[in-house]
Amino acid sequence: MTSQRQASKPVSERADYKYFYFFNLQNVSVASSLLYYLNFLSSQLLILLLLNLFKMHLNAIVNIALALCVASVAAGPVKRQENALVSRATCTAAVTKLVDGINSNIAVQKQEQSQTTVIQKQLSAGNVNSADFQTNKSKLVTIVNKGISIRTNNQKIAPSGNGAIAGLATVANAQAGELKLVQGLTGDPKTDNANLSKLQTMFSGGITQNQKNAQAAAAGCTP
């Protein structure tokens, strides 16, 4: 019996050795897996950290860019305004007087429109009273002649080479046609209605032309 136990001892030792070897292999495998997982986790944390840092820097860059844009927009109009003040000097007394005269002519042209409307309403009402019509017509003739007088004076006082000179000549031609139409009114709706509508169009065009004349007269300066 003793000899059999002694004979079997090497077998047991070999079994223990195999078990120990297998156990060590298992430990190595677990350790390797754990190390791989830790490395993977570390890389993920590093990526998240880098992303957060990038996001922080990106937000800072965006905020700086927005601040620069706001500053640029705020400074833009001021710079343009400063340039305008530098480039536009005060108009001479002669130019200022001309601009005032043109604006006075515009005010009279608006009166022409209003008085023409009065006559149009009178004719549309029917049973036109001849005396009332002549009164309204005379008022319109007076207003048109007043506008002609102001325009004539504007042409006289316009400085040589002023930008409004050509436009004032255009107004003069239009006013001659307006006066002719007004003087030709008879009180008969059949003939007057068309001429009154034409007069309204001419008066409106005259206002637009004189607005351009005022701008041209003061080109390059501030009245």
Question: Are 123 and 211 in a shared domain?
Answer: yes
Helix (H, G, I), strand (E, B) or coil at 98: helix
60 and 113, same domain (yes or no)? no
- One domain, residues 80 and 143: no
| C-alpha to C-alpha distance for 120 and 189, rounded to whole angstroms | 9
Report the predicted TM-score, pTM, of the whole model to 2 decimal places: 0.62
Task: State the total domains in the chain.
Answer: 2
| Both structure tokens of 119 | 């006559």
Residue of 100 and 222 predicted with greater confidence:
100
What are the distances in angstroms from CA 87 to CA 82, 111, 159, 216?
Answer: 9, 36, 21, 16
Last residue of a domain, one of 87, 116, 137: 87
User: 82 and 100 share a domain?
Assistant: no
Co-location of 103 and 118 in the same domain = yes
pLDDT given at position 67:
66
The rounded mean pLDDT for the chain is 81
- Which residue reads 């136990």 in tokens? 5
Instruction: Give the number of residues written for the chain.
Output: 223
Write the pLDDT tens digit of every residue in 34-77. 666 666 666 767 777 667 666 666 666 666 766 665 555 555 54
Whether residues 142 and 106 fall in one domain: yes
**Where does a domain end: 87, 108, 131?**
87
Same-domain pairing of 110 and 209: yes
Same domain, 139 and 195: yes
Same domain flag for 107 and 81: no
What are the distances in angstroms from CA 70 to CA 7, 76, 166?
A: 96, 10, 45
Give the confidence band of 223 by pLDDT, cuts at 50, 70, 90. confident
CB 166 within 8 A of CB 152: no
Domain that holds residue 11: 1-87
CATH number at residue 138: 1.20.120
Whole-number pLDDT of residue 197: 98
